[in-house]
Amino acid sequence: MINNLLFVLLMAPQGGNDNPLVSLLPLVLVIVVFYFFMIRPQMKKQKELRQFRESIKKGDKIITIGGIHGKVADVKDTTVVIEIADKVRLTVEKSAVINDPSAMLK
């Protein structure tokens, strides 16, 4: 049904004496659809990831972009020290930490 509606709305006008604003309607609709289905969800994901990185605290389980799983041992301004095994620690940038929903549930 949505596809049929979009097809009807995006069809070019057939008359020669139409208002120029009517001919711009399909372009405006494409931009609106693009915003709500592509740009807005991506901005929401970026905001959630930024909030997650700012809220990291000692003891949280995280995953790095490289796939390293660990527990946060220390948090600094731009870096995080993670413990990946007994007495094995790595210092990584906060920007290299991704949100791990499965770690949040445990």
- Please state the rounded mean pLDDT for residues 29-47: 91
HSE value, Cβ hemisphere, 13 Å, CA-based, for 57:
2
pLDDT value of position 43: 93
Q: Is the pLDDT of residue 16 over 60?
A: no
Does residue 69 have a pLDDT over 60?
yes
* pLDDT above 70 coverage of the chain, percent: 76
Instruction: Report the alpha-carbon angle 5-11-13, nearest 5.
Output: 130
The lowest-confidence range among 21-25, 35-39, 77-81, 97-101 is 97-101
% of the chain surpassing 90 pLDDT: 58
String of b and e for 62-78 (b: at least 16 CB within 10 Å)? bbbeeeeebebeeeeee
Residue 5, beta-bridge partner list:
none
Q: Give the pLDDT band of residue 102 (cuts 50, 70, 90).
A: low
What per-residue confidence (pLDDT) applies to 25? 85
CA 71 to chain CA centroid, Å, is: 23
- Residue 22's pLDDT band, with cuts at 50, 70 and 90, is confident
Query: 44 to each of 49, 50, 67, how far by Cα in Å?
Result: 9, 10, 23
